[in-house]
Structure 1
Amino acid sequence: MTKRLTAKFSVCKKLKKKYKNVWGLNKGDSLRSTHYTQKKRKGLSSFGHLLNTKQCLKAYYCNLTEKTFKILLRKSIKSSLNTLDKFISLVEMRLDVILFRAAFVSSLYKARQLINHGVILVNSKPVFNMNKKIAQYDIIEFRCKEKQFYDQVLSDLKFNINTRSFSSHLEIDYRTMRILVLWEPKFSNVYYPIKADYSTFYRLYK
Structure 2
Amino acid sequence: MSRYLGSACKLCRREKEKLFLKGERCFTNCALDKKRGKNGPGQHGAAKSKMSDYAKHLREKQKARRIYGLTEEQFRHYYEVAEKKKGSTGDNLLILLELRLDNVVYRLGLASSKKQARQVVNHGNVLVNDKKVDVPRYQLKAGDVVTVPEKYKENAVIKKLIEKTSTNVPSWLSFDKNKVAGTIVSEPTAAETSHPIDSQLIVEYYSK
**How does the TM-score come out when normalised to structure 1?**
0.84
Separation in 2, partners of 1:204, 1:197? 11
Seen in structure 2, the aligned counterparts of structure 1 residues 68 and 106 have a Cα distance that, compared at 3 Å, is same
Residue correspondences, number: 197
- Bigger mean CA offset, 150-159 vs 92-101: 150-159
Deviations 1:82-125 (A, max 9, x none): 11211111111111000111112101111111111111111111
1:14-53 correspondence to structure 2 within 5 Å:
14-15=14-15, 17=16, 20-23=17-20, 25-29=23-27, 30-32=29-31, 35-37=37-39, 39-53=46-60
CA gap of 1:158–1:146, structure 2 versus 1, over 3 A, is closer
Gaps of 5+ in 1: none
**CA distance 1:197–1:90, shift in 2 (3 Å):** closer
Q: Distance in 1 between matches of 2:182 and 2:126?
A: 11
Offset of residue 9 of structure 1: 3.5
Q: Which residue of the partner structure matches residue 157 of structure 1? A: 162
Q: Distance in 1 between matches of 2:118 and 2:26?
A: 19
1:185 — aligned with what? 188
Corresponding residue for residue 170 of structure 2 = 167
Deviation (angstroms), 1:66: 1.4
1:61 aligns with 2:68: yes
1:136 to 123, 131, 142: 142
* Aligned-partner Cα distance in 2 for 1:40–1:11: 17
Tell me: CA distance 1:109–1:32, structure 2 relative to 1, closer, same or farther (3 Å).
Answer: same
- Aligned Cα root-mean-square deviation (Å): 2.6
Shift of residue 147 of structure 1?
A: 5.8
Q: Is there any run of 5+ residues in structure 2 with no aligned partner, and where?
A: 41-45
Assess if the C-alpha contact under 8 Å between 2:64 and 2:197 holds in 1. no
Superposition deviation, residue 2 in structure 1: 8.4
Quote how far apart the aligned CAs of 1:135 are. Answer: 2.0
Contact 1:105 1:157 in 2 (8 A): no
Match of 1:99 in 2: 105
In structure 2, C-alpha distance between the alignment counterparts of 1:189 and 1:13, rounded to whole Å: 24
Q: Aligned to 1:146, what secondary structure does the other structure show?
A: helix
* Offset of residue 40 of structure 1: 3.6
2:179 match:
176
- The verdict on how the C-alpha distance between 1:2 and 1:53 changes in structure 2, with shifts beyond 3 A counting, is closer
In 2, the alpha carbon distance for the partners of 1:75 and 1:146 equals: 34
Letter in 2 for 1:37: N
Whole-Å separation in 2 of the counterparts to 1:204 and 1:166 = 31
Cα distance in 1, alignment partners of residues 144 and 25 from structure 2: 32
TM-score, length of structure 2 as denominator length: 0.83
Worse overlay, 87-96 or 31-40: 31-40
For the residue of structure 2 that corresponds to 1:41, the secondary structure is coil
Q: Write out per-residue CA displacement over residues 27-51 of structure 1, whole angstroms, 9 at most, x where no aligned residue.
A: 2143225632383422010000111
Q: Is the 8 A contact 1:120 1:140 kept in 2?
A: yes
